[in-house]
Each structure stands twice: as structure tokens, then as C-alpha cells.
Chains A and B, each alone.
Chain A
């Protein structure tokens, strides 16, 4: 466990010593800050059934920028080390491949969580500026954060796998983006195809649809199915990535 924490610290340092992390964070803050301002404008014009939390965490243009995040965060994780040749040294050092994998995975995840913290700050600012007159539903806020974290876990695991498969960061980014997009489109496709299925089968269709998960969680309906789906998929992808790393180890 100690090895894992040492590696995690090293990975986090490498994240925050790189200007790329700050550029990504600043860009993400501009987009989410803009979404937040737009939400305030829209809700100021007329009352809506959609709360400020839904507008902030799930605006209409959410997927336009959300999918680009993960290739940016994960593309360098393994690909860069493979290119510079440091991955072989790392894997032949007295550390287990699983420690290397988990350290990289969690460092990316921690950075991803940090990306979302400004949204909480914005809500705090609104609460402060409006003297607490704006209703912020806490169940909705908790649900929104939970689904953002769950989807983040899954997408970062996809990014880890993509990065472990190639030594070229751009190729890793493209693989990651494609896999995430395919998963998203599969859910959308099932939703479109299943318009006329009976209610009892809608649960199965909704099971794979990211848009449904987000829309339910952001109103505050927490569902164990989505939690199991993303966590189990993350574990599966990390297992496959681990096998890829083990392959590199014995190949080396």
C-alpha cells in the first residue's frame, strides 16, 4: 500500500508540475463558468422546472466539452512513459504493475475531481451574492456530483487502457475519445430504438444510456444500477489494462 501512495504522490506531482494541467483546468473553468452564468440568465428570465444544479452540471452543451476532457487527462499516462522508455524501467523496478496502474488511474481521477470543484465554488458565490435566496436542492447536488464521479471513473479507465495500448499520445487520445463516444452513442441508439418497448424493458435500455443516468442523478434520483454499471466497467477495464502492462513486463 505504501508503494501505491509513493507512486500516487509522484504521479500527482508530475501532473501539477506540468503547465498542461493548469491550462486544462483554466479552460474547463471558463466553460463551466460560462455555463453557470448562462444558467443564471435563463433562470432569471422565467422560473423553470430545472434547478440551478441541473443547469450547472448538465447544460445542453455538456457533451460538447465533456468527452474532450478524458483524452486530455489520460493520453500521457502510459504512452509518454513508453515513448521515453521509462515504463520498462518502472515495470522492472520492485513495484507491482497493479500499483503503477492504480497510481496513474487515481492521480488522473483526483485531477478530474479537482476540475469539478470550481462548480461548487460558483454555487457558493451565488448563494453568497443572493443572500441565500436561490434554492439549491442538495439531493440534486449530491446526485449530480455522484454521477459525474462515476462517469469519470469509467472514462478515465477507458483512457488508461487507450494510453497503455500505444506509445503515441495522439493515438491514445483518439482511441480514448472514440471508445467514449461509441459507448455514449450505443446508449443513445438503444434509447432511440427502444421508443416503443414496454415499461418493464425500459430499465434494461436505460441501463446503458449515459444521458438517462445523468438526467436522473441530477434531479436527485440515485440508482444502484448506474453505480454498479460504472464501477464494474471501471474494474473490468482496469483488469484488461493490468493484463496489457503485465504483457509489457514479461515482454521486457
Chain B
């Protein structure tokens, strides 16, 4: 029962309730403005996001991360350069080529103009490029073409020789490294695009191309259908934008002035006294480089080569590095040398601790930094490669069952070393030093036995010799091939669990829940 309160005559009666009027027009405008503001905000945020973005490379081989050296070069680059990637978009290689373009574009946006041309789809653009390259005596095909960003007229006006210095072409085939699978089919093992492109950009930006002379007439190398170690060297050196020229010591009065380096690979003929003198004179110059890969062939005698090396602190021994192992039929010799990269030199620093296999016959090297010449001429000697445990330098390596005994060279052994004449901690003085690398094996770069880590080692040696330490850290991106090896039984178990058991359990759980709810 509610008690009614009688209205008092003093208070006026309350005004009747009127429903509030909904101002639909105003609300509509309000909503429209809010949505419009939301759209504008969305556009601004996304515009800023395109302009200022960040990528985190968590790929297995850090495929999208450029090395510190490349980044540093791009930062210091003061010219605008043009990179044209000529690649077939439907090819297997295109993905890596496009990724390379993407990585360089990301890091050098304001300094690099990057285009991709597919000769199958844009023949006109390709022909235009080919004509431009032709002026630099470059026969253009698939690969990367680097040049300064100049107009076509400017490029046409430039003399042919000058144009050659200003353009670089890297063939696509030289960017990819392959190994063979168990069926001897080629399998992609690595992509060396970054090193090659950085090198080409440097060459175009600075306009120089180091010249390497290869002394081949004194060598005897195992040659297969894929070529020999010299072929590997020519391909590697060209890939790093160095020019390779042949050199016959017996036809020249001296080593050419323009030689940035001279390579001796697998020599079987010794120097004569005149040649020894030529090599000595060259070694005593400034910023010169020598590269020796000693032939391990049994019974070989090159006393003047060894004399030259020994007087500079690296003495090749007459032994062969080996170890033995027991089999059912007796003791066997193993000449393949498992070796570790040492951390004493910038050459091997990126690979320190990595174990590699050196095929063929290998001699050991004795390092004598205390000898007279290394001391007086300030030759810095560093060991690069050392055999793992179990190996020794056997003098009677032709015996059936050799044993490490007196007269043999016992660990620690070295099979590669570097020498730097006029080395100094002061970088400004050190730039005039001459450098030499000796590897006591000539099968290391044999195409049939070429291992990725040996390739990288040789590549680092070349770059160090030419005082291009910046390149040493730029290793090819390895390609990881993923596979799953499970037995048929295990595969069947996985199929049952993932496609039948687990989904059925969830389905039955659903029925149970539904039943319980209905119940």
C-alpha cells in the first residue's frame, strides 16, 4: 500500500514528461566525423610505417642480413650507383637475386637505384642495357650490372676504356655455389651475391680493379672435366672483381709493375736464379702480394722456391702430413688432413676453430720468425691452419706402415701460413706492407674436392693479400636444405596421431559437452 501525498497548493504541478528528442542528424554527423578521423589516422600511420620500417632477420642463415663491412661501405658511399639485376623471374635463382636487391635497397635506399630486368619479359630493356654494356666491352647476360647513375648520353660520350672502369658485370653463374648430392646431382650450397655485389660497387665507386698474375706454366695440376685448381682461382678472383692475367716468368724481365699479386699454384718446375731474383725484387716492393700453393707430389724438388720461402721465415718440410688407422687387413695411411683454422690471423678469424679437410698430399711448414730476415725486415709470420690430433709429418711417407719416429715432424704442425713484410700496428704504415700466403697443398681448390670452408679460406687469403680486409667478413650465405628422415612406421604413427586420434578426441569431447548441456 502506497501512501499518496496530497499536492500542496503552494507547489506548482510538475510539467508532464516529454521524451527527449533524438537528434539523429547530429549523431549521424558525429559518427561520420569519427569514422573519417579513424580513416585519416589509419592512412597517416600506414604512410609513416612504409617510410620508416624495421625488419628483424630471424631466418635460419640470416639470409637478409648484410655484413658489417657492406653496411659500413654503403654508409660511406658518396656516389649514386645503379644496380640492375638481370634475372628470369621464373628461375630457381630469382628468389636469391630478388632478396639481394631487397637487402641492398633497404640499407642503401638513397644511394642505390635498383632495377630487376627479366630478359624474357622485357626484351627491350635488356637490349638497351646490353648496348650500354657493350660500350664497356661487356657481353651482358644473366647477372648483375653495376654502373654510376648517369644518363645514357653521358655514358655514350665516355671513352670505351673509361666506361669499362665505371661499370661492373657479375655473371649469375658465378654467384651460386653448388655441391653434388649422393647421386652426383648439383645441389645449391651457397649464394655469394653480397660479397660480389659489394666488391662491384666498390670497384665502380673507386674506379679501380686489382690485377692478379697467375704463373701457370710451371704447374702441373690434376685436371678434370670441371677444370683444375687454377680454373677455380680464376673464377674466384674474377668474382671478386680482380682481373686475372697469365704470366710467364721466363718471358718477362721483371714482374709487371701493375701486378697487385702473383699466384703460384702447384709448381713442379723450380725457379731459376733469374726468376728467383725477380720474385725477390717484387717481394721487396710496396703493397705487393705473393700466393703459393705448394705441390705435394711425391719426389718433387723445387729447392729455389723453398729457399725463397725459408729465408722469409716459412720452411716447407720434405715430409707429408698423415695419420694411420687400423683395419682388418692391417694399418692404413690417411693423407687427407683434418685441420683447424687458427685465430692468429685476420684471414682465418671468421673461421676460427672450424675443422676442415685438406685433400691430397700435404707438406708441413716450419715457422721460423726468429730467423735473420724475418727479424731484420720485420716480417710478421702467422700460422693459419694446423692438423688436428693424430697427424704427424712423415718423412718415409711411401712406406706401407709408417710410424711417427725420430726424424719425423711431430705436432704442433702447420700447413698454411701468412707473412707480412713491413707489418705494423699503425694502420697508416701497414698499408705499404707486402704480403704472402703459403699453403702446403695444391689440391685444396681442386674442383672435385672443393669444400665450402676451403673456398671461403682461399677467398679470405686473396682479399687479405690485396689489403681488402673489408671483404674477409663477407662470406657466402649457405643454403640449408631441410629434410625429414623418419621410418614408415614412425610416419604412420604421426599420421594416426595428427589426423585421426587428436581430432577425434576433440570431436568426442564436443559431443560429451553437448550431451551434458542437453542432459
Contact = CB atoms under 8 A, between A and B. Distances in A.
Interface string A176-219: 00000000000000000001101110111001000000000001
Contacts of A198: 113-115
Interface in A103-142: 118, 121-122, 125-126, 129-130, 133-135, 137-140, 142
A44 interface: yes
A139 B479 CA distance: 16
Given A219-B59, A235-B38, 5 more contacts: A22-B513, A118-B502, A207-B46, A223-B53, A243-B34
Interface string A46-81: 111111100000000000000000000000000000
Interface string B485-519: 11000110111011110111011011101100100
Given A37-B491, A130-B486, A221-B58, A22 B507 contact: yes
Contact of A44 (B55, B485, B514): B485
A47 to B, nearest CB: 4
A41 B125 CA distance: 43
A23 B45 CA distance: 39
Contacts of B187: 47
Interface of A: 16-19, 21-23, 25-27, 29-30, 32-34, 36-37, 39-41, 43-44, 46-52, 118, 121-122, 125-126, 129-130, 133-135, 137-140, 142-143, 195-196, 198-200, 202-204, 207, 219-225, 228-229, 232-233, 235-236, 239-240, 243, 246-247, 250
A52 B498 CA distance: 15
Interface stretch (B101-109, B200-208, B281-289): B101-109
A115 to B, nearest CB: 10
5 contacts: A22-B514, A33-B498, A142-B58, A204-B50, A235-B38
B377 to A, nearest CB: 50
B39 interface: yes
Interface string B384-419: 000000000000000000000000000000000000
A229 B31 contact: no
Interface of B: 22, 27, 31, 34-35, 38-39, 42, 45-46, 49-50, 53-60, 63-64, 89, 101-102, 105, 109, 113-116, 121-122, 187-188, 479-486, 490-491, 493-495, 497-500, 502-504, 506-507, 509-511, 513-514, 517
Contact of B49 (A125, A135, A224): A224
A239 B35 contact: yes
Given A40-B486, A122-B498, A51 B513 contact: no
Q: Which 7 A-B pairs have the closest CB atoms?
A: A22-B510, A139-B58, A33-B498, A47-B481, A33-B499, A228-B49, A29-B503
A226 to B, nearest CB: 9
B54 A47 contact: no
Contact of B58 (A16, A140, A232): A140
Contacts of B491: 37, 40-41, 44
